[in-house]
Amino acid sequence: MSIQQRKNIGLEILAVVLFLAYLSPFVIIFINAAKPTLQVIADPLALPENPSVFFDNVWRILNDRTVAYGSSFMTSVIVTVVSVALIVLTTSMAAWVLVRTKTKTSSFIFMMFVGAIIVPFQVVMFPLISWLATIERTLGLSGTPFRLLGNYPGIVLSYMGFGASLSIFLYHGFIKGIPFELEEAATIDGCSRAKTFFSIIFPILKPITITVMILNGMWIWNDFLLPRMVLRGGRHDIQTLPIAVAGFVGQYVRQWDLILTTTILAMVPIIIVFLFLQKHIIKGMVDGSIK
Amino acid sequence: MGGKTGKHTPIFFLFLLPVMLAFTIIIVVPLIMGVYYSFTDWNAVPGTPINWVGLENYFVMFSDVSFLHSFLVTVAFSLVCILLINFIAFMFALLVTAKLKFAGVYRAGFFLPNLIGGIVLGYIWFFIFNNAITAIGSTVGSDFLAMSFLGNRFTSLFAMIIVTTWQMAGYIMMIYVAAIQSVPASLLEAAQIDGAKYHQRLRYILMPLIAPAFTITLFLTLVNSFRMFDVNFALTAGGPSGLFMGQALWTTELLALNIFNTAHRFNDFAQGQARAIIFFIALMTISLIQVYFNKRKEIEM
Domain at B265, CATH number? 1.10.3720.10
> Residue B226 burial (CB < 10 Å; 0-12/13-18/19+)?
buried
- Is B10 part of any domain? no
Distance, in Å, from the CA atom of A275 to the CA atom of A227, rounded to the nearest integer, reads: 27
Find, in chain B, the residue whose alpha carbon is nearest to that of A160.
Answer: B22
- Optimal mutation site among B27, B38, B255, interface A, most CBs of chain A within 10 A: B27
- Cross-chain residue pair B30–A124, CB shorter than 8 Å: yes
- Optimal mutation site among A39, A126, A130, interface B, most CBs of chain B within 10 A: A126
- Is B11 part of any domain? no
- Cross-chain residue pair B123–A249, CB shorter than 8 Å: yes
| Contact (CB, 8 A) for A94 and B20 | yes
- Cross-chain residue pair A245–B123, CB shorter than 8 Å: yes
Element (H, E) at B250: strand B247-250
Which residue positions in chain B have pLDDT lower than 50? Answer: 1-2, 301
- Is B62 part of any domain? yes
Distance, in Å, from the CA atom of B51 to the CA atom of A254, rounded to the nearest integer, reads: 45
Tell me which amino acid residue A107 is: S
Which residues numbered 125-184 in B keep a CB inside 8 Å of some CB on A?
125, 127-128, 131-132, 135-136, 139, 166, 171, 174-175, 178
Chains A–B, number of C-beta pairs less than 8 Å apart = 270
| Facing residue for A90 by CB, picked from B18, B131, B273 | B18
Q: Which residues of A touch B137 (CB under 8 A)?
A: none
Instruction: Please report, for residues B75, B122, B228, B292, the alpha-carbon distance to residue B223 in angstroms, rounded to integers and kept in the order given.
Output: 11, 19, 8, 15
Cα A46 from chain centroid (whole Å): 35
**DSSP code per residue over B165-224:** HHHHHHHHHHHHHHHHHTS-HHHHHHHHHTT--HHHHIIIIIHHHTHHHHHHHHHHHHHH
- Cross-chain residue pair A124–B26, CB shorter than 8 Å: yes
- B94 close to A (CB below 8 A): no
Distance, in Å, from the CA atom of B138 to the CA atom of B145, rounded to the nearest integer, reads: 7
- Optimal mutation site among B26, B233, B253, B268, interface A, most CBs of chain A within 10 A: B26
Distance, in Å, from the CA atom of B297 to the CA atom of B301, rounded to the nearest integer, reads: 6
Distance, in Å, from the CA atom of B30 to the CA atom of B23, rounded to the nearest integer, reads: 10
Tell me which amino acid residue B214 is: F
Q: Which residues of A touch B263 (CB under 8 A)?
A: 126
- Is B18 part of any domain? no
Average pLDDT, consecutive stretches of 10 residues, N- to C-terminus, chain A (291 residues) = 80 95 95 92 89 93 92 97 98 96 94 92 96 93 89 97 96 94 80 88 95 95 96 88 94 88 95 93 86 60
The Cα of B10 is separated from the nearest Cα of chain A by a number of Å equal to 10
The pLDDT assigned to B2 comes to: 44
- B33 close to A (CB below 8 A): yes
- Is B23 part of any domain? no
Q: What 8-state DSSP symbol labels residue B225?
A: H
> Residue A3 burial (CB < 10 Å; 0-12/13-18/19+)?
exposed
Instruction: Please report, for residues A276, B108, B165, B278, the alpha-carbon distance to residue A281 in angstroms, rounded to integers and kept in the order given.
Output: 9, 11, 20, 34
- Cross-chain residue pair A286–B6, CB shorter than 8 Å: no
Instruction: Please report, for residues A115, A276, A285, B111, B173, the alpha-carbon distance to residue B108 in angstroms, rounded to integers and kept in the order given.
Output: 33, 12, 13, 5, 11
Find, in chain A, the residue whose alpha carbon is nearest to that of B257.
Answer: A122
The domain tally of chain B equals 1
Omega cis (within 30) before B240: yes
Distance, in Å, from the CA atom of A106 to the CA atom of A98, rounded to the nearest integer, reads: 6
The pLDDT assigned to B297 comes to: 64
| Contact (CB, 8 A) for A93 and A197 | yes
Distance, in Å, from the CA atom of B102 to the CA atom of A115, rounded to the nearest integer, reads: 42
Which residues numbered 86-145 in A keep a CB inside 8 Å of some CB on B?
86, 89-91, 93-94, 96-98, 100-103, 105-106, 109, 113, 116, 118-120, 122-131, 133-135, 137
- Is B9 part of any domain? no
Distance, in Å, from the CA atom of A6 to the CA atom of B158, rounded to the nearest integer, reads: 37
3-state secondary structure of B96: helix
- Cross-chain residue pair A23–B115, CB shorter than 8 Å: no
The Cα of A263 is separated from the nearest Cα of chain B by a number of Å equal to 6
3-state secondary structure of B48: coil
* Diameter over CA atoms, chain A: 79
- Is B45 part of any domain? no
Q: Which residues of B touch A260 (CB under 8 A)?
A: 124, 127
- Is B124 part of any domain? yes
- Optimal mutation site among B12, B136, B176, B259, interface A, most CBs of chain A within 10 A: B12
The predicted complex's ipTM stands at 0.93
Instruction: Please report, for residues A54, A70, A257, B35, B107, the alpha-carbon distance to residue A30 in angstroms, rounded to integers and kept in the order given.
Output: 8, 21, 9, 47, 22
Tell me which amino acid residue A189 is: D
3-state secondary structure of B52: strand
- Tell me the residue range of the domain where B165 lies: 56-297
**DSSP code per residue over B274-300:** HHHHHHHHHHHHHHHHHHHHHHHHHHH
Among residues A227, A196, A251, which one has the least CA distance to residue A78?
A: A227
Distance, in Å, from the CA atom of A202 to the CA atom of A148, rounded to the nearest integer, reads: 30
Cα B182 from chain centroid (whole Å): 27
